[in-house]
Structure formats: structure tokens, C-alpha cells
Structure 1
Amino acid sequence: ATQLTLESLRWAAGLNYPDFERDYEFVCLRHPDEYPFNEGRLISNRGMDIPIADFFNTFQELHVEHSNALHCVRKDNNQSYHVGPLARYTLNFDRLPDMVQAAALEAGLGKECRNPFKSLLVRLVEVLYALQEALRILRAYTEVPTESFVPVTPRAGVGHGCTEAPRGILYHRYQIDADGLIQDAKIVPPTSQNQKQIEDDLWHYVSGAADLSEERLTWECEQAVRNYDPCISCATHFLKLTVDRS
């Protein structure tokens, strides 16, 4: 699997990618000594460094007139931010094993990536890392536990959690009563957090590609959306594009 992933990365590195980079605010988990999956603090490339419990002190979900989807934005300025593979890679390149770093650099990626179309390459780098991490865990797995779960005594409280899904950070908050029953739950998926960023990308991309035919422009805009891997992009034709050249 490792060799196949390396070959796929080399093949994908030879594809043509639009010359499109943006000055994103990247947001992701940061672990003291691991590439982020399940633990860490939330950081950004613009100085943010907060515990998970401070998520809603920093971000907010908004209803917008043109969409049924909530848009999660920075609370201080209502601006979009970017979660997902580019954020993880750019802010945690130093957490990747040497072999994975070398493969990324060989594929033409620098120590950061701001081209959303190259998220394909970064995802392959992360697959390569996941394979190496799986092998490390298996080799270190010497003691079989007697139980498949950790016993928990219910008590009232509020808990916060955040993991890195492939699309980006997935935030959870649960309020539980003394019997262990959930009284309130809040989940903010990565697609909600990238929703405004996707729209911002489309605005910027179209401004530099307005001379394309409507068919070609629609196709490239669909690619721009698929860079973020939202659920809707599994549909073959999901973008209705109206072009006004007046």
C-alpha cells in the first residue's frame, strides 16, 4: 500500500493544476508531537492558539440569505477561514515523518500549500502518513486489553471535543445530566466551516477566468468546489452557473 501511494503521488504530481493561490487563514489542530488526528489545541497561521472549549468564543455560525447552509466564520470579523488538508499540512509539516516529508517535497509541494487545487496531492501525502502511522501502531501493539471500552460513571457536565476529519476540524459539544443522558448537543462539521471559504474561492477564481466558455467555466468552478470535498460534490452536475458578460 505504501508503494502504491507513492506511485499515485508521483503520478498526481504530473497533472496540470490551475495557478491559483490565496492568502487563507488556516485553522487546524496542533498536537505537541504528532500530526493531528484526535487531540490538540486549535491554532491558525495568524496567531490563534486556543483550547477546544473556546471554539464558540472564537467562531460563530451564521444564517445567510442565499443559502440554507450555516456559514461558520471568525467571530471577531465575520471572515471565512480554511480547514482541511491544506491547513493541517501547512501548520503541521514538521510533524510528518522524514520519509513523508521527502515524498511531499519530491511531488513539488513546499512546506506549505495555498493552492486548493493541489489538495489532491496533500491528501495523498496524508494517506502515506496514515499508512506509516498504522504500521507504527501495529508494531507497538503488544498487549491485548481485556475490555473493548473504558467504564464511565455518569455525571452531569459539559464536554467539548474536536477531531480532524478528512475535510477538516469536526467540533462537538455535549451537555449531559447526572444519568448520562444528553440534554443538549452541538456539532459543527468541516463543510459548514468551509462553506464561506468555498464561495470566496469561486468569486476570486471566476474573476480571473471570465474569458472561458460557459461550459468550461462551469467545469472548472465545479473543480474549485470539489477541492473541499463537500458532500454535494459527489453529484456529477451540482453547480448552476449563470454568466452575465454585459
Structure 2
Amino acid sequence: MSDSRTGNNLRTGDIHVPVLARVEGEGALDIRIRNGQIDDLKLRIFEPPRLFEKLLEGRPAQDVIDTVARICGICPVAYQMSAVAAIESIFQLTPSPWVQAMRRVMYCGEWIQSHSLHIHLLAAPDFLGFDSAPEMAKRFPAEVRRGLHLQGIGNEIIRTFGGRSVHPVGVRPGGFFRAPTATAISELREKLQDGLQAASGLIEWVATLPIPVDDQEFVCVSLRHHDDYAIERGRIISDQGLDIGIDDYERHFREFQVPHSTALHALLDDRPYLVGPLARINNNLDQLPADLRAIIATTGIAFPSRNMFHSILARAIEIHYALSEALRLTEDYDAGSTPFIEPSPLPGIGFGCTEAPRGILWHRYELDEQGWVKSARIVPPTSQNQARMEEDLKTTLTRFGLNQTDDALRLHGEMVVRNYDPCISCATHFLDFRAERS
């Protein structure tokens, strides 16, 4: 680290921070400041090519569903649900209402565990001034225990339907390999009911965090479904008037490579856009239950919100929704339901798009006559958010004050990036920060 000052108090300096915990993945942030303005900003992602799309070629449908679950240890259900939806559309197969409902319950489990992990272990320490969750736990032990408890409930939901909570194996074309027993669902419902009260307390606590005021203009993109708060189905919409079927994604969204990142960037009609919990609530607030909207009203924070840091509250709200939704869908659970419909493979092209915890996850597959993969394309939410993250960093750091110390700018930049909960890779560190001033 170096720091130098000129006679007119302008400063040049280089900072190298090789490791940052509390983000999944590895990358770097380079900022070049000229004449008191950000001249260049690059959020560099080092994630190596994982070749999943190529690895899927020549494989049957079930291999696809089990393989894509390995893309992410935090949101494997999202990958499975987008993949199985695309495959079933090619096979012209509509799962039974029971299967559709139970898949939504399983997806609720992923939202609960992922959001709980992010709020308590990754993001909240930033707002409260702690370097880590263990440090925060010394001052807020009950809150951290509550977060781990909620995360455990989410894991239990996934395990009930998927056989295990990490990289589950219960999903197949047409449904599930087996139906959970009535006893398993009864025990699960007791945990869900217990978690619902904890989730109400979580919303109240998160709303009291010292969240920075930082309103910005950005485009919110999410799914929307006419029947319910979109999770595993819907049309792609934006708060700027977009309303398209998922098969129309490629006509409006453009992915492209930038020299400083191995992760692709994405634009909607040549503009950065936001996906994730804040975008979902901004677009679909009216579809949340009335009792939950009443809880939100007590926080004094209004949605739609233009403050990106309200993403942490959006996650807490979605935890409450996911718990109540899982309770609703399992209320009249029938353990005797047929867990799957046997598919008949067909050739064709199919699309799947669901709401992963971090935002829309879009899949496209082309299958041959045997139902084996000819080609695959997967667009994860983090790559869709990367251009928006860079735009946010430039705006937020400028407002924060470029005359701040390099350490202060680095910490604030880290908080901005963590706020998006980027899922970069399976590593445990992210930011290599460099600031160049003149």
C-alpha cells in the first residue's frame, strides 16, 4: 500500500487487498480517479470457465437436472427448476398440480436458506461495522442464532423433497422421484410455523439497521405471474414496460464479453438492469399477502424503493413470504399423490426461467429425438447484475466522496458489491481492490 500527497492535497495511491470474506467467489475492483472524478471502474471477475453448458451436450435429460445442481451449492434448486421446466416444455409435458405445488415449496426452501445466509453472515456485519459474522454474534447473539435457525428450516425443506439440502437429487422430468411421507410434511410444517414468527422479528430488526440513503435510477427486471408472487414461473417484465414470454428473452437481452472479466455482462435494450429480491418486490409488491404488506408498512420503508441497500430488507420480506407460502401449499398435503408422470422424449428447443434467490435464471436447451442435449445456454443472475453493479459502484462511491481514504473507499465498495450477493464461484474471497489517483 502506498499513499502520497501533492502540495494541492491531491493524492495518488495504490491499494492491494487480496482477500475479502463473505462473498462467494474471486475477483477484483479497479478504480482510476482523475481530477476528482472516476475516470474508469472495472469489476473484474476471475471465475475460470466451468464449461457446464458444453459438458451437458450429449447427455440425457436426467443428467442435465442432476448436473446443473452442481453449478451452485447455494441455489441448486433454482438451476434444477429452470432446467426441468425447459425440458418438460420440449417433451410437451405438464406436471400435475401436486407436483407444481410441491416444486414451489421446495423453491421456497432455497429462498429461505439463501436469504438467511446472506443477511446474517454476509451483509448485516457491513451495516453494523463488524468484520465478520462471528464478531457480530458477540453483540447480536440472538439475531445470529435466529438467522441460522431460519437457514436450517430452508435446508430442511430442500432435504425433504430433494433427498439432501446441497445438490439435491429428487427432481426428475414429470415430477419427483418420490413423495415425502405425511409424517415428514407434518414435522416440516411445525418448523415452518415456528419460523414464521422468527421471520416477522427479522423484518423488524433489519429495518432498524443503519442502512445508507442512496437512491438511484435503475431498471428492475423480474418474473411476474397473474396468479401469485412469481418464483418458478411467469413472464419477464420490467418497471419500464417490458412484458415478454421467456422464449423471447434473447430478442431483448444481450450478453457480451468484456476484457476485464471472465463473467459475461448483460444489457436490456443496451441498458444495465437489476434482478433479484429488490427488483421482485418493486415489480410485484401488490402480489404479497395483505398481512405481510401490513408488516412492511410498520417498517416505515416504502416500496418500490430506489435505494439498492434496501435489498437486505427485501430478502427478509421474501423469507417471511416463502415460509407462509410453504405453509399454505402443504396445508392439505396428500402423501398418496403420484409423484411423477413418465415423460416421452421429443426433439425440440425449450426454455425455462425461474427466480433464483439472486434473480432470474434463464435456460435454453435443444434436444434430439432421444431427448439428449444438442446445445445448452444458461444465463445466471450474477452475470445479469454485473453491469448494474459497476454502474452502482461508480454512482455510490462518487456520492460517498472520492476524497475519502483508500481504505474507506475500499470498504464502501465491498459493501456495495456484497449487497448484490454475487455468486461468483465456490471460492470464499472476492475483492482485490486497486485505486489509481492523479
Q: TM-score, normalised by structure 2?
A: 0.54
Cα distance between partner residues in 1 of 2:409 and 2:381: 26
Matched, 1:43 2:237: yes
Structure 1 distance, partners of 2:305, 2:403, is 27
Return the letter of the residue paired with 2:228.
E
Q: 1:194: which partner in 2?
A: 385
Of residues 264, 284, 292, the one that matches 1:70 is 264
Name the CA distance, whole Å, in 2 between partners of 1:234 and 1:188: 17
| Structure 2, unaligned runs of 5 or more | 1-194
Q: Which moved more, 1:3-12 or 1:195-204?
A: 3-12
Q: What is the match of residue 273 of structure 2?
A: 81
Q: Name the SS of the counterpart of 1:215 in structure 2.
A: helix
Secondary structure, counterpart of 2:435 in structure 1: coil
Shift of 1:211: 2.9
For residues 100-119 of structure 1, the C-alpha deviation after alignment (integer angstroms, 9 at most, x for no partner) is 11111212221312211111
Give the match for residue 115 of structure 1. Answer: 307
- CA deviations on 1:131-180 (whole Å, 9 max, x unpaired) are 1101101113236313x222111111100110000100000101011101
* 1:208 match: secondary structure: helix
In the aligned structure 2, how far is the partner of 1:41 from the partner of 1:11? Answer: 33
- Are the counterparts in 1 of residues 277 and 311 from structure 2 also a CA contact under 8 Å? yes
- AA matched with 2:199: T
Q: Give the alignment of 1:1-246 within 5 angstroms.
A: 1-74=195-268, 76=269, 78-142=270-334, 144-146=336-338, 148-209=339-400, 210-232=402-424, 238-246=430-438
Aligned length, in residue pairs: 243
Counterpart amino acid of residue 203 in structure 1: K
CA distance in 2, matches of 1:115, 1:150: 45
C-alpha contact (below 8 Å) 1:5/1:128 kept by paired residues: yes
What is the rounded CA distance, in whole Å, between the counterparts of 1:237 and 1:31 in structure 2? 36
Moved more, 39-48 or 234-243: 234-243
Q: Is the 8 A contact 2:255 2:264 kept in 1?
A: yes
- The 1:179/1:237 distance shift into structure 2, 3 A limit, reads closer
SS at match of 2:389: helix
Tell me, yes or no, if the aligned pair for 1:26 and 1:45 is still in contact at 8 Å: yes
The answer to whether the 8 A contact 1:2-1:128 is kept is yes
In angstroms, what is the RMSD of aligned CA positions?
Answer: 1.6
| Structure 2 letter corresponding to 1:59 | F
CA contact (8 A) 2:222 2:238 kept: yes
Instruction: For residue 173 of structure 1, give the secondary structure of its aligned residue in structure 2.
Output: strand
Could you tell me how far 1:66 is from its partner in structure 2? 1.7
Alpha-carbon distance change, 236 to 176 in structure 1, aligned in 2, over 3 angstroms: closer
- For residue 140 of structure 1, give the secondary structure of its aligned residue in structure 2: coil
Q: Please tell me whether the aligned partners of residues 27 and 87 of structure 1 are also in contact (alpha carbons under 8 angstroms).
A: yes
Please say which structure displays the higher CA radius of gyration. 2
Contact 2:275 2:360 in 1 (8 A): yes
Question: Is contact 1:41–1:51 with CA below 8 Å preserved after alignment?
Answer: yes
Instruction: Identify which range, 48-57 or 109-118, moves more after superposition.
Output: 109-118
Q: Contact between 2:397 and 2:412, CA under 8 Å: does it hold in 1?
A: no
Following superposition, which runs of at least 4 residues in structure 1 exceed 6 angstroms of deviation?
A: 233-236
Q: Give 1:46 shift.
A: 0.6
CA distance in 1, matches of 2:228, 2:296: 17
**One-letter code of the match for 1:101?**
R
TM-score of the pair, normalised by structure 1: 0.94
> C-alpha displacement at 1:234, in angstroms?
8.4
Q: Which amino acid aligns with 2:250?
A: F
Identity of matched residues, %: 45
